[in-house]
Amino acid sequence: MFSTVLKHGLETAHGIAVTHCASLTAVKAAVETGGDFSLAVLDLNLPDAPNCEALDYVISHGIAAIVFTGSFNSKTREDILSRNVVDCVIKSQLDSISHVISVVDRALTNVRTNVLLVDSDDTSRADLFALLQQQQFSVVQASAGAEALHVLDSSDAIDLVITDIALTDMSAYTLLAEIRQRHGEDALSVIALAACDDRQHAARFLQCGGTEFIQKPFLLEEFNSRVFQVANIQKRIQALHNIAARDYLTDIYNRRYFFQSGPRLVEQCLRRGETTSIAILDIDHFKRLNDTYGHEVGDLVLKAVAKRLKAAVGDEHLLARLGGEEFGVLFSGLDAAAAHDYCETLRLDLAGTKIVADDEELSVTVSIGLATIESLESFENYLNAADQFLYMAKYDGRNRIVSELTLLKSMAS
């Protein structure tokens, strides 16, 4: 009964594939025949495995485990939790099925969440690292605030920061202020931990823009629940941001996101001592194409160009549709020469792309204005410089790149 109801509940609630095994033999067969399982919900006592053998087996194969059992006492619970299981749910407790489904939800959310753990105490950091890994979080560690900021500047993958209130080089308040200044108000959730008895720390941290505050020592269930709630809300915020940041037609980033994220990316590059570049690409003779074939074909061309650009640029650089037939690319750490070569590859790739519309093959070309960013200015200045070069490219005959580099070469010849 439990397995039938639970299988149906998990598939309905999460839309995931669930394999039911009634014995350890069935578990082994499912795993050894190539089953790619990330999570197991299992009873401690199976017909051919009465002494937790199934739990030992799934853990040994790197599968996260949630224990769902009727056999339970305090000693059993301590033994189970010491084996790095995600959680333990008792069948006889009220709403046990719903509880298991919520624990699975927690594990599925956590496994998609990247946590930066900041703690200057090696022992404390090691203990917290083990707890977070047990809950399926992907964890990066830092022993000081400056190291944490460097990690955040080097990667956009961090979703959640957990920091001790007192670090060797700065307080959690200073770290929080730097995070909010560099990454915005809701790009990252920040949780602080404190062992002191001064309750003012919690109020002050939350007033300064912190997301959550956990007092040490904490109950394991409290820690897990609070961190999960923050991670879950952060994922929902990110999903909403992703919807708002996308261009409705091409499904790449829109102008609003480009102007929001661009200044931060430029600042990070310059802080690392790197020059970077920005390009504006414009589809040549797009108005003529619209007038000749109609706006439906024009939209088809925009989507095809965006798809090719997205495939070429990937996640390495920031690509957006700036409006109409214009696209922007903010390169990460490419100087003038490297960015020019990159743009030339994009130009040739697009020129060689055939777009089928109304049973007719269309060819498109782009003109590109490329500007180098060497010092901190307003983001509009960088766009204006690239736009001026784009104007020169179109005036000069289209289907070409114009930048400081091409102008210097032209003057030298």
Angle at the Cα of 114 from the Cα atoms of 108 and 120, rounded to 5 degrees: 130
Average of per-residue pLDDT across 390-403: 93
50 cis-preceded (ω within 30 degrees of 0): no
Q: What is the pLDDT of residue 313?
A: 92
Average of per-residue pLDDT across 61-81: 76
Q: What is the pLDDT of residue 333?
A: 83
Residue pLDDT, tens place only, 120-144 = 999 999 999 999 988 889 999 999 9
- Structure tokens, 215: 């007092």
* pLDDT-based confidence at residue 71 (cuts at 50, 70, 90): low
More confident residue, 413 or 337: 337
Residue pLDDT, tens place only, 269-281 = 888 888 889 999 9
Model confidence at 74: pLDDT above 70: no
Model confidence at 401: pLDDT above 70: yes
How high does pLDDT run on average in the chain?
88
What single string gives the DSSP state of each residue in 157-174? Answer: ---EEEEESB-SSSBHHH
* pLDDT-based confidence at residue 11 (cuts at 50, 70, 90): confident
Q: What is the pLDDT of residue 75?
A: 67
* pLDDT-based confidence at residue 340 (cuts at 50, 70, 90): very high
Q: What is the pLDDT of residue 280?
A: 96
Residue pLDDT, tens place only, 147-179 = 999 999 888 789 999 999 999 999 999 999 999
Q: What is the pLDDT of residue 271?
A: 83
Say how far apart CA 216 and CA 299 lie, in whole Å. 57
DSSP-derived secondary structure letter, 93 = S
Model confidence at 306: pLDDT above 90: yes
Model confidence at 320: pLDDT above 80: yes
Say how far apart CA 7 and CA 16 lie, in whole Å. 10
Model confidence at 37: pLDDT above 70: yes
Q: Tell me how far CA of residue 20 lies from CA of 5, 15, 26, 122, in angstroms.
A: 11, 15, 9, 42
Residue entry with tokens 């001064």: 198
